[in-house]
């Protein structure tokens, strides 16, 4: 059977009988240990749109850790911690991980944390972050990881909403050239929050030890060492595993909820189906535990699948050079690397000819997967040329927790198309709708939506906010989950995510995708990365403005480059795009996870009020961009 037909047959099998498909993947023989195996697979009468495995029980920590030790694989490496920030590499076996997780769970239990209680985790990229997540899950408690270094007000809002019994943190995080002290942020956040946790456990890092508040704060490692190990607590498959907050449009963060049973089944399934990983393989998701990629593919999915996961504390460039990613892959025998397009673009900008890449033996690396934002075709083509390996863009969201569309190494890869996120994963019925909720013809841009029910591991609701969940995701198109992404599906079923729906601009009555224009700009040999924003125009309604960062070593006059870019857009998209201006900028404003803040830039260009997003990597960039945007407006 060809690769394409393997995919088609598998997706058709899911379509014919979704419950039978997921029942098969929930079988113990597939690798999930149940305390009470599911007899019902899906109950449409439960929750907002239904619940998966409603009568089952299990423990996620047992499945991620203890199960492998019991199977005789305790000496296999579970976590490789590689920190160019400290020069440290640490390898933790499954047996060692089990011991540390059980003891930290015991320390939490001794401080009153039990089934259903919440624990906020505010950590840098250190092994204790993953250990804290697993220890919380071991007790049947619910963790909420907040990206380390988030501002005190943002941390306070999450403490107020989750009402944790305990906070687990570190004295500091490490960034290139600076130390970020966490403890003052924690103290301020607790002071701001109406809810006060009873315990704060702090990992003291030698780069910036902190003062403790008597009666509340304790040394995490001391508490762990003194604790009695705790056993795994059985929970309902529908019980929450974690809350992951995203910024909400109202200013109040949205708590994405993830359950235990559906999460374990779908993530275990994805490691084999999507990534082609087997027990013992080395898998590296170059992200952060504060983001959904870190939850799904640094911690839970690789460990559920019995893989070795890499936990990396560093940056794609500057720690110390643009060869860092390739060094980590070579040193640890990484089989599959998963990162964000912005990381690869940063490497491409600093090392366009791949000089640093050629220093390392990447023979064990089989594929590069990209997600987190839309990837321009030029970055994929550049990566494929240098790596001589499959480079796969795939699309998913914090809300879904795993792949909506992609390419599937477990089925054999079908041909990729640069600019497309692949085809829908089994579990997702993806459609393109117009504003009236009607399907649009193949090849036309519209709103991407997923027919309900969502598959296992997608959010069943928002934390304590069913009505907000319905309003935000289910009210726009009846019977569908609205992704808030715009795109198209071509004649062969490939899905292309072009932009967020608010990045579709209307130029003289023509609906145009800024993502399509970005594709054209990114293909220019001098452009490292770019963004296109729609700005108000009295004649045409909106016009596109290009902002580009050039590759290292490019010294072309800005007006020359602008003329070339304008000509390219006119050639590839046509005069209808009304693309008449491109500005060179030193950098683009991004979140810490690498997403470009297009909506914020659009508001700046239109002189609309805006708030500085709490996730922004460097707020000063917005001032630089504002000067450029004001100079560009006529």
- pLDDT digits 0-9 by tens, 249-300: 445 788 999 999 999 999 999 999 999 999 999 999 999 999 999 999 999 9
Determine the pLDDT at residue 263: 98
Q: How far apart are CA 494 and CA 420, in angstroms?
A: 6
Same domain, 414 and 520: no
Which residues lie closer than 8 Å to 102 by C-beta, 6 or more apart?
135, 138, 229, 230, 231
Chain centroid to Cα 230, Å, comes to: 30
Nearest to 244 by CA among 280, 281, 290, 193: 290
Is the preceding omega at residue 320 within 30 degrees of 0, hence cis?
yes
CA torsion through residues 91, 176, 131, 305, sign: negative
Same domain, 113 and 261: yes
Same domain, 545 and 400: no
Q: Is the pLDDT at 143 greater than 90, yes or no?
A: yes
Q: How far apart are CA 103 and CA 99, in angstroms?
A: 6
The CATH number covering residue 553 comes to: 3.30.300.30
At which of 374, 408, 423 does a domain end? Answer: 423
How many CB atoms within 10 Å of residue 400?
24
Of 497 and 299, more confident? 299
Mean of the pLDDT values across residues 434-455?
Answer: 94
Mean of the pLDDT values across residues 37-57?
Answer: 98
Question: Max alpha carbon distance in the chain (Å)?
Answer: 71
Same domain, 168 and 289: yes
Determine the pLDDT at residue 3: 64
User: What are residue 450's phi and psi, to 5 degrees?
Assistant: -120, 125
Position 402 confidence tier, pLDDT thresholds 50, 70, 90:
very high
CA distance to 40, 108, 233, per residue, from 65 (Å): 26, 18, 14
Q: How far apart are CA 572 and CA 593, in angstroms?
A: 31
Same domain, 418 and 530: no
Same domain, 513 and 419: no
Q: How far apart are CA 50 and CA 45, in angstroms?
A: 6
Domain assignment present for 141: yes
Nearest to 186 by CA among 203, 176, 178: 203
The CATH number covering residue 214 comes to: 3.40.50.12780
User: What are residue 179's phi and psi, to 5 degrees?
Assistant: -110, 130
Domain assignment present for 194: yes
Structural domain of 67: 3-314+394-423
- Six-digit token string for 593: 């996870």
Determine the pLDDT at residue 151: 81
Tell me which residue has tokens 């250990």: 131
Question: What's the whole-number average pLDDT of the chain?
Answer: 92
- In the chain, how many domains are there? 2
DSSP alpha helix (H) spans, 388-504:
466-469
Q: Is the pLDDT at 117 greater than 80, yes or no?
A: yes
Same domain, 402 and 530: no
pTM for this predicted structure: 0.85
User: For residues 347 and 317, is the Cβ–Cβ distance under 8 A?
Assistant: yes
pLDDT (tens digit per residue) in 120-132: 999 999 999 999 9
Using CB atoms within 10 A of its CB, is residue 12 exposed (0-12), middle (13-18) or buried (19+)? Answer: exposed
Q: How far apart are CA 325 and CA 313, in angstroms?
A: 11
Q: Is the pLDDT at 592 greater than 90, yes or no?
A: no
Same domain, 100 and 231: yes
Q: Is the pLDDT at 506 greater than 90, yes or no?
A: no
Domain assignment present for 345: no
Q: Range with the lowest mean pLDDT among 43-52, 56-65, 304-313, 417-426?
A: 417-426
pLDDT (tens digit per residue) in 145-176: 998 877 888 899 999 999 999 999 999 999 89
Where is 166: in which H helix or E strand?
strand 166-170
Is the preceding omega at residue 453 within 30 degrees of 0, hence cis?
yes
Domain assignment present for 366: no
pLDDT (tens digit per residue) in 327-377: 999 999 999 999 998 899 889 999 999 999 999 999 999 999 999 877 888
Same domain, 415 and 517: no
Domain assignment present for 319: no
pLDDT (tens digit per residue) in 11-28: 999 999 999 999 999 998
Using CB atoms within 10 A of its CB, is residue 361 exposed (0-12), middle (13-18) or buried (19+)? Answer: exposed
pLDDT (tens digit per residue) in 175-196: 898 999 999 999 999 999 999 9
Same domain, 309 and 211: yes
Determine the pLDDT at residue 348: 93
Cα torsion at 373, 376, 381, 382 (round to 10°)? -80
Q: Is the pLDDT at 524 greater than 60, yes or no?
A: yes
Determine the pLDDT at residue 339: 95
- Six-digit token string for 572: 């590839």
Q: How far apart are CA 50 and CA 57, in angstroms?
A: 17
pLDDT (tens digit per residue) in 218-255: 999 999 999 999 999 999 999 999 999 986 544 578 89
User: For residues 285 and 368, is the Cβ–Cβ distance under 8 A?
Assistant: no
Domain assignment present for 429: no
Domain assignment present for 477: no
Same domain, 405 and 547: no
Same domain, 561 and 415: no
Domain assignment present for 441: no
Nearest to 497 by CA among 601, 423, 411: 423
Nearest to 159 by CA among 185, 135, 132, 192: 192
């Amino acid at each position: 059977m060809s690769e394409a037909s393997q995919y088609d047959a598998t997706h058709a099998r899911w379509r014919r009988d979704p419950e039978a498909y997921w029942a098969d993947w929930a079988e113990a023989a597939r690798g999930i240990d149940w305390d009470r195996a599911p007899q019902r697979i899906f109950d449409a009468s439960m929750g907002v749109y239904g619940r998966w495995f409603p009568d089952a029980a299990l423990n996620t920590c047992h499945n991620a850790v203890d199960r492998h030790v019991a199977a005789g694989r305790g000496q296999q490496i579970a976590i490789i911690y590689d920190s160019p920030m400290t020069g440290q590499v640490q390898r933790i076996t499954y047996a060692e991980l089990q011991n540390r997780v059980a003891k930290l769970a015991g320390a939490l239990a001794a401080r009153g944390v039990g089934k259903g209680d919440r624990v906020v985790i505010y950590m840098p990229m250190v092994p204790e972050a993953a250990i804290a997540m697993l220890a919380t899950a071991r007790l049947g408690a619910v963790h909420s990881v907040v990206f380390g270094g988030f501002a005190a007000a943002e941390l306070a809002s999450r403490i107020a909403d989750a009402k944790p019994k305990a906070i687990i943190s570190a004295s500091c995080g490490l960034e290139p050239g600076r130390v970020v002290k966490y403890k003052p942020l924690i103290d301020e956040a607790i002071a701001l929050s109406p809810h006060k946790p009873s315990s704060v456990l702090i990992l003291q890092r030698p780069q910036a030890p902190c003062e403790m508040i008597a009666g509340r704060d304790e040394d995490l490692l001391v508490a762990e060492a003194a604790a009695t190990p705790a056993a795994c607590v059985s929970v309902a498959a529908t019980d929450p595993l974690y809350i992951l907050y995203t910024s909400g449009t109202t200013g109040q963060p949205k708590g994405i909820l993830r359950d235990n049973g559906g999460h374990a089944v779908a993530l275990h399934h994805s490691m084999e189906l999507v990534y082609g990983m087997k027990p013992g393989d080395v898998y590296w998701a170059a992200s952060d535990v504060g983001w959904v990629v870190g939850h799904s593919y640094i911690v839970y999915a690789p460990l559920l699948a019995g893989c070795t996961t890499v936990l990396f504390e560093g940056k794609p460039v500057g720690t110390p050079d643009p060869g860092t990613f390739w060094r980590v892959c070579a040193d640890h025998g990484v089989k599959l690397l998963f990162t964000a397009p912005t990381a690869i673009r940063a490497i491409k900008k600093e090392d366009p000819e791949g000089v640093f890449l050629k220093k390392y033996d990447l023979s064990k690396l089989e594929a590069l997967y990209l997600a987190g934002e839309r990837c321009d075709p030029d970055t994929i083509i550049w990566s494929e040329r240098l790596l001589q390996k499959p480079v796969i863009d795939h699309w998913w969201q914090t809300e879904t927790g795993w792949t909506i569309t992609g390419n599937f190494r477990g089925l054999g890869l079908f041909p990729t198309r640069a600019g497309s996120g692949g085809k829908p994963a089994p579990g997702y019925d993806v459609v393109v709708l117009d504003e009236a909720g009607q399907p649009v013809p193949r090849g036309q841009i519209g709103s991407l939506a997923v027919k309900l029910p969502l598959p296992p591991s997608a959010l069943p609701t928002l934390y304590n906010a069913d009505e907000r969940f319905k309003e935000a995701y289910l009210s726009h198109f009846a019977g569908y989950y609205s992704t808030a992404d715009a795109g198209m599906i071509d004649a062969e079923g490939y899905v292309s995510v072009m932009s967020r729906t608010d990045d579709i601009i209307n130029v003289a009555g023509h609906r145009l995708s800024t993502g399509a224009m970005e594709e054209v700009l990114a293909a220019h040999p001098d452009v490292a990365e770019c963004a296109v924003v729609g700005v108000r125009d009295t004649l045409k309604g909106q016009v596109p403005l290009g902002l580009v960062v050039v590759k290292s070593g490019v010294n072309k006059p800005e007006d020359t480059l602008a003329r070339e870019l304008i000509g390219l857009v006119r050639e590839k998209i046509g005069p209808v795009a009304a693309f008449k201006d491109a500005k060179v900028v030193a950098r683009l404003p991004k979140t810490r996870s690498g997403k470009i803040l297009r909506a914020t830039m659009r508001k700046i260009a239109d002189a609309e009020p805006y708030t500085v997003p709490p996730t922004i990597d460097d707020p000063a960039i917005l001032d630089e961009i504002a000067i450029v945007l004001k100079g560009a407006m006529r």
